[in-house]
Amino acid sequence: MAITMTKGQVGLTGNTAVAYAMKQINPDVCAAYPITPSTQIVEEFSGYVADGAVDTEFITVESEHSAMSACIGASAAGARVMTATSSQGLALMWEMLYIASGMRLPIILTNVNRALSSPINIHCDHSDSMGARDSGWIQLYSETVQEAYDNLFQAVRIAENEKVMLPVMVCLDGFITSHAIENMSLLDDAEVRQFIGEYKALHSLLDTDNPVTYGAMTLPDTYIEFKRQQSDAIARAKDVVSEIGKDFGNRFGREYGLMEKYMLDDADVAIVILSSAAGTTKVAVDELRKKGKKVGILRPRLFRPFPFKEVADALKGVKAVACLDRVDSMSGFGGPLFNEVRSSLYESEKRPKIASRIFGLGGRDYKVKDAVGVFEELLKIAETGKVEVLTKYITM
């Protein structure tokens, strides 16, 4: 049975909040194949479909590859399309992720972050979405249930913006955010409809008066032009994300930018970290600030496109930085967040010392003491000017 809720403060899990946001968006099509830990999103949204609370055509498929294939077909036909997945499900979509972005289809996918096999693990890390980081999808990472809920509405506007027209992946941490109950505020259905507006596809396969082709064969004389246009579009998305985040804040009182800075303005050292683990790190910051230690956090919300100029500007006054990745790029040179941040700082005249730390793989607990330990290491680096170990795992 579908859950009935009213505007205002409620306690919801991340999955329930996302399913309810989908209900309020009322997409034309949802094609999905459930997988832990995102199963509840699909289950609850299918309840809204069964109860007639939405007009969505819900397509049951035999795999996640088929789910994204159906989403692509529906979106090319002019529908507003959404789906959800995790881990191996996202990996099974791999081929189709590139097709969705290459065709410039504004599909919205909620990815509940879960470790990729092997060995088999159903708990959180970012190996699934980070594995798809260069597939041409815009990526938003959510710290809280509230942010995951709010990000979904903004994702619709971002994807469908005529300057962008690209798919968007909204990420939240498996079990940590997806299954934890948090106090949050819901929007009114009418407010959601007004914010996202009606969707009218720029091009539709069903518009026989204006025929178009999607995904046709291209040879060396034209393929690169498609990719250049796609690259230009994802670069433009950065400003669109900022504009829509401000509009959301003006309407609903919760403004979102490209990143969140916490106690960073006067910080000597900083941790850069994504998603729910930022909350744990904030507790460590508060504890160390009471002891007079100038520590802070930079939490990127937008990872693709990567806001490299803004990141460099945010860290310009910091002496030492640690990038904490919940995934290893298997390059022997740190995680993806570390490599992006390090590259962003390259042009800075006065660069902070920087280290890579891998944490929380497969759902391993990340505790306040772990964050405190990294900060203490950074304070030593700031004092000596030397990074003793460039990249290592936090395993205790």
CATH code at 336?
A: 3.40.50.920
Q: Which of 188, 219, 252 is the last residue of a domain?
A: 252
Domain match, 218 and 280 both: no
Task: Please compute the mean of the pLDDT values over residues 71-91 and round it to a whole number.
Answer: 98
Find the domain containing 101 and state its range.
8-252
- Establish if 275 belongs to a structural domain: yes
Domain match, 239 and 300 both: no
Average pLDDT of the chain to the nearest whole number: 97
Domain match, 133 and 22 both: yes
Domain match, 141 and 263 both: no
**What is the tens place of the pLDDT at every residue in 102-150?**
999 999 999 999 999 999 999 999 999 999 999 999 999 999 999 999 9
Contact present, 172 and 142 (Cβ < 8 Å)? yes
Task: Please compute the mean of the pLDDT values over residues 30-59 and round it to a whole number.
Answer: 98
Quick check: 171 pLDDT over 70?
A: yes
Question: What are 304's strand-pairing partners?
Answer: 139
- Establish if 78 belongs to a structural domain: yes
- Establish if 353 belongs to a structural domain: yes
- Establish if 104 belongs to a structural domain: yes
Domain match, 77 and 224 both: yes
**What is the tens place of the pLDDT at every residue in 299-333?**
999 999 999 999 999 999 999 999 999 999 999 99
Please report the pLDDT score of residue 334 as a whole number: 96
Quick check: 5 pLDDT over 80?
A: no
- Establish if 3 belongs to a structural domain: no
Domain match, 30 and 173 both: yes
Domain match, 212 and 283 both: no
Torsion of Cα atoms, 330 then 336 then 337 then 340, to 10°: 130
How much of the chain, in percent, has pLDDT values that exceed 90?
97
Task: Please compute the mean of the pLDDT values over residues 29-56 and round it to a whole number.
Answer: 98
- Establish if 2 belongs to a structural domain: no
Domain match, 28 and 59 both: yes
Domain match, 169 and 269 both: no
Please report the pLDDT score of residue 8 as a whole number: 78
Domain match, 243 and 360 both: no
* Domain count along the chain: 2
Q: Is the pTM of this model over 0.95?
A: yes
Q: Which of 252, 273, 302 is the last residue of a domain?
A: 252
Quick check: 2 pLDDT over 60?
A: no
Task: Please compute the mean of the pLDDT values over residues 215-221 and round it to a whole number.
Answer: 94
- Establish if 308 belongs to a structural domain: yes
Please report the pLDDT score of residue 314 as a whole number: 98
Q: Which of 207, 229, 252 is the last residue of a domain?
A: 252
